[in-house]
Structure 1
């Protein structure tokens, strides 16, 4: 769930964030709470991007919990998890976890110190401005009385800014390729160590579900990179068995999470490991932002347009399903 510049009303001198008024921040929290509760139907785990810090995300969790109880429903007891990254504007990735149902085993930030040679500037730079955050957690299976464990990784990859700028594009394209390879290698490392690990990659990948001819980000992460000659910046195939991009399972007319100049495109993905394919029950996008006008932005009587991205939502059964998607 991309929160689009979710900055709080407290000045943090260590970053270059926008400082909003308390009134504006409270309105944003109210809108997001409406979206999470009424449109997303209060998922057990929510991967979040573009949050300023842990304190802001904790306030959002408290707001959702309070609003849920005020509506006469049980407190979901959402808890916030976030670790600061390298982004100059101070936007980070985190999780909201429904602790009434989910037990957190571990959270770990990945690749914060990794560097790459930026050929556009001849400098060494951080590979991950917003490092992936991994969550290992479990849910109790009421039938077997055994914990159902899974691993989720929230991601916010390099944007398209500078992608076609002659002065910057070499560095930008290299960074996007290396970020994709970083995730592909991470998946393969974990699959090799434990072939049964149930891995979920989620977030704003700033990449389409297909090869754009420049960098095949999603193909590389899935384990199906475009071959040389079909992409300008090719990658090796690092993943076996392949990941599954859930957007490929829905109808073509629903394959968008963002609109750019009126054109629908998929930037937000959920990819699952082969070990989870028998557990997936459904996937879609919570239609609450991309199709709605900017004039709704500060209307806190409705959820729509709290962000510019629709949230990807996946449904899983913890029973061993027999029908593959």
Structure 2
């Protein structure tokens, strides 16, 4: 019965021998739990079913239009869901509380296509619907709270089936993903739920019904390891179209107060979600953007900030907010490594690669915000070779305050020329500054190349390497039908990390006590293989471990606060003060989707 007392393209047809006769399907003897079965795939996939009864528990008139029905007469099997989605394509004509019978084809829908790897959604398609009566009481919702969700996340996939879990019998008492699958399409409820992912432009937010697990210091939920993906997270969407009722604005740390109830659904952008027929109200948790302290006179402050596709086509408000982040919240660092600086016409794909206009407008905005007149250094990429938004030609750039620090220019660096390390007056020096690290290596195909530069602070040389590694695009999701999910994008990041590590080894080999800062959007976690490759041999250490665990996050994805941006230093930097400044990721109103980071030390 799914509950056990707890307080677009169709997929390819899979022929499964049904435990029921064809005549049973034809004569309307099937119930929803028979169709759902005790695995993720219906035993009636591809078959026609007739007069399946149920009560309408939710109606969706936008997107994937249809309605959910639930059988008020459940069986006694906790693995079989009593709810199912009826895909109508057009706006449904039924209403919540209608008792209906549905005939149609049983299908398995894979959001994003079968190859994406996500689990499927069992539904009845091309339906014929008859309303038997209206105004019926809805089946009682299954309450999803801290005690309802199993501690174990998912079973190990069947190795004979490519690590797939979709044909394994569901064990909802044992695994969280199996619990959700066993409740697919059923009426569920959360109450006074912790909001762990802010509302978005797509009218959604994330809650966690187990907020005590891996809690951040500001009311969120931290992604602490691959083995601990936080099973209590659920996305919440409203079944009321936005034009009829506004979706609430919410930040991490707020509470979705009262009752939120509706069918349990699944989509490609957030996995399992509550399609809210009834939506709670947002109670503020009161978090505010953070401000870091200013560097002392003898401290060098080096920051990194992903400014999310900044280009002259952005409105002035974005430039002003990013500038205020630099001045007011980061206290005007001496050096700022920027990621995602686009060319002078943004996503227009006409061969433009210069970013002079972008950087002029940004540095002007910083001055207007009360900050210093930053100078900058960068290398224009080859057109279309560095990935990111097509036509945007994103790249890494250094800003630096010439009143506090000087840049050591060594000419010859360009998009395709590799910088190397030499000894000059007993110190490690770059052959090209600014320069790129092995730009022709296949590790950087369709990805940003690291930007290396030499700086001098109070007479001491410091080498800074700005990075923006390959994105996680193409990885299987935490909700995938393959468990554990495959992180295919990590292969390229590992190769990138090895090249950066090798370059830093060259520096330290020339000068054992060289002071090197490697920072930026690494696009991987502090516990990842990518970080292990960066720190291999002890040539670098990640500064994120200097923070309490509850403060280790720079990005938020599907309700998981996580480290994607990192700062690493060589042993020559013995003492430092590191801060992740939370000003964006937790907020519905954000200037960028990343939080900046800053490290201070005395060279």
Q: TM-score normalised to the size of structure 2?
A: 0.40
Secondary structure of 1:38 counterpart: helix
What does 1:37-116 align with in structure 2 at a 5 Å threshold? 37-53=327-343, 54-55=355-356, 56-68=358-370, 76-85=372-381, 86-88=385-387, 89=390, 90-105=393-408, 106-115=433-442
In the alignment, what sits opposite 1:258?
Answer: 555
Quote how far apart the aligned CAs of 1:153 are. 0.4
Quote how far apart the aligned CAs of 1:62 are. 2.1
Contact 2:454 2:463 in 1 (8 A): yes
Secondary structure of 1:271 counterpart: strand
Structure number with higher relative contact order (C-alpha < 8 Å, ≥ 6 residues apart): 1
1:219 aligns to 2:532 (yes or no):
yes
Taking a change above 3 Å as real, the CA distance of residues 170 and 38 of structure 1, as seen in their structure-2 partners, is closer
- Any unmatched runs of 5+ in structure 1? 10-19, 69-74, 117-125, 141-146, 224-238, 297-304, 319-325
Aligned mate of 1:286, from 573, 581, 600: 581
Taking a change above 3 Å as real, the CA distance of residues 108 and 289 of structure 1, as seen in their structure-2 partners, is same
Secondary structure of 1:42 counterpart: coil
Contact 2:435 2:451 in 1 (8 A): yes
> Which protein is bigger by CA-based radius of gyration?
2
Quote how far apart the aligned CAs of 1:66 are. 3.2
Quote how far apart the aligned CAs of 1:174 are. 2.7
Quote how far apart the aligned CAs of 1:182 are. 0.8
Aligned residues: 249
Taking a change above 3 Å as real, the CA distance of residues 258 and 311 of structure 1, as seen in their structure-2 partners, is same
Aligned CA-pair RMSD? 1.9
Q: How many Å separate the matches in 2 of 1:129 and 1:149?
A: 29
In the alignment, what sits opposite 1:148?
Answer: 460
- Any unmatched runs of 5+ in structure 2? 1-304, 344-354, 409-432
Q: How many Å separate the matches in 2 of 1:180 and 1:62?
A: 34
In the alignment, what sits opposite 2:472?
Answer: 160
Q: How many Å separate the matches in 2 of 1:62 and 1:174?
A: 39
In the alignment, what sits opposite 1:143?
Answer: none
Contact 1:58 1:79 in 2 (8 A): no
Quote how far apart the aligned CAs of 1:263 are. 0.9
Following TM superposition, the consecutive aligned residue runs of length 4 or more in structure 1 with deviations greater than 6 angstroms are none
In the alignment, what sits opposite 1:15?
Answer: none
Aligned mate of 2:496, from 172, 176, 179: 179
1:317 aligns to 2:597 (yes or no):
no
Taking a change above 3 Å as real, the CA distance of residues 66 and 182 of structure 1, as seen in their structure-2 partners, is same
